[in-house]
Structure 1
Amino acid sequence: MNDVLKIAIVPEEIVSFLKSETNYKEVCQNILFQRVINRAVRERGLAVTTEEIEAEAERQRREKRLEKASDTLAWLADELISFDDWEIGIRNRLLAQKLAVALFSKEVETFFWQNSLGFEQIILYQLIVSDEKLAQELYYQIEEGEISFYDAAHLYDIDDNRRRRCGYEGKIERGVIPTNIAAIVFSKPAKELIGPLKTEQGYHLFMVEGLLPAELTTQRYKEILNNMFQQWLLAEAKSLVRSSQISSARD
């Protein structure tokens, strides 16, 4: 099958297919991003070592359970790429990571603490029903101890998945909750029943199991760093396009 693909498909067909699937823009954008990265890497003298490439290749082999060299070669052949293609991809990703660190590592902590309020989390339970009277009745029943919040959510929530979880929503960041609701649920003591609050979804009852202060974890650091890097890439790519357009106009 792979031999057939190599022979039967030409670059023009690939471009045409990407356009028909509305994926062409994304591919072109990623190519522009790589140009931006290559230029910035050269300007800053960044490089990756052979050891770093080998370590990442070994990590990928373990992840894909490629135990023998023949397994790796078979996988590469199945992907229609050469060993050199694979190595270039690894080098590009490692260089992008190094560039992100060089550009923004000193800004991540400042950004985090300036926006720490948005990174606070609560362990949240939620119950949504479509009827206001039912929501009010459930509120009183839970307050009076006639039914637990968990049982009420299991029996009455409009969402099947949340019913199975007895209302459990998990750890939720302040920043992903609508501002008016976040202001209420983040200000209440743990285990206090909140609601009913009306939204487009219906009538909500909330219960906060606990508040988790903002913490700059390794995962959070990576997320902020990546977001900064992606925003920078977008801005630089747009600048590159504008420069190209101006140059073409002059010619």
Structure 2
Amino acid sequence: MSQVLTVKNEDIIRHIKFSCQIPDVLRAVAIQKIITDTAEKAGIKVDEPELQQAGDNMRVANKLVKATDTLAWLAKHNLTVEEFEELVYANVLSAKLANHLFAKQIESYFFAHQLDYVAAVTYEVVLDDEDLAFEMYYALQEGEITWSELARQFIHNPELRRTWGYQGIRRRIDFRPELASAIFALVAPQILKPIVTSKGVHLIWVEEIIHPKLDEQLRAKIQQDLFSAWLNQQFEHLEIKMQ
């Protein structure tokens, strides 16, 4: 038979304080108040169909197929049905405010910052010895060794070794400046000459350069980036007092 442990609200607050999470919690509360107040001034409303759709989407995202699944999830997160509806409302309000403030700025921002959204598919091996790195580079050029053989020999992390040092699809801003300038200046596919950084000597195989298209996914990302930057700016000008 399981034992029952009673946790009071003051216990939770004490834990938040002792784990030094108060600044993050205060910021989250302040951000929500900024969103609510700004949306109210802008006359932004959330109607019932929007709430219903957002609630359904949230249940799907959390795999809450049955009513019992939803109730169990609510209990786990100590939420009432009414509080779940408030959570959904806050999410919809935030999205509508972001759209209200920045939907018309997306295209101009994209064209002004287009290079920031260029991406590259890369594989990487980092060595400690520059001479060895150049030796391996020229061996790759001459076909004396393959990239997979190089990765198996010099990558110590098992997961990275299995994928030949695959780094995924990364934007220019995700790379160190000295690497980005070299990677995005070439015509892929190509292996870069070794580049020395504070982390070591990088051998990088650039498989593909992906030029951005302003599709719905990128539009959503740019809008969220602009909205997040705006919220941060609003928060920096606040003086928060706890009662």
In the superposition, the TM-score normalised over structure 2's length comes to 0.88
Contact 1:154 1:165 in 2 (8 A): no
Residue 158 of structure 1, CA deviation: 4.7
Q: Structure 1: how far apart are the matches of 2:39 and 2:57?
A: 24
- How far is the alpha carbon of 1:89 from its aligned partner? 0.8
Choose 75-84 or 90-99, whichever is displaced more: 75-84
2:80 pairs, out of 46, 60, 82, with 82
Aligned to 2:200: 202
Shift, 1:84, TM fit: 0.7
SS of match in other structure, 1:126: strand
Per-residue CA deviation, residues 148-206 of structure 1 (Å, 9 max, x unaligned), is: 12321222235443322123222221121122222212122223332121112221222
SS in 2 for 1:195: coil
- CA, structure 1 residues 88+176, in 2 after alignment: closer, same or farther (shift >3 Å)? same
Deviation at 1:10, TM superposition (A): 3.4
Quote how far apart the aligned CAs of 1:75 are: 3.1
TM-superposed CA distance for 1:18, in Å, is 0.6
CA distance in 1, matches of 2:162, 2:112: 38
* Pairwise CA RMSD: 2.4
Aligned to 1:149, which of 141, 147, 165?
147
Percent identity reads 29
Contact residue 191 and residue 208 of structure 1 kept, 8 A: yes
Letter in 2 for 1:173: R
C-alpha separation between the residues in 2 aligned to 1:131 and 1:196? 10
State yes or no: 1:118 paired with 2:116: yes
Match of 1:49 in 2: 47
Q: Extract unaligned runs of 5+ from structure 2.
A: none
Deviations 1:28-86 (A, max 9, x none): 11111111111111111111111111122222233334333344334323432211111
Distance 2:75 2:38 in 1: 32
CA distance in 1, matches of 2:85, 2:13: 24
2:184 matches 1:192: no
TM-score, normalized by length of structure 1?
Answer: 0.86
1:1-251 equivalences in 2 (<5 Å): 8-241=6-239
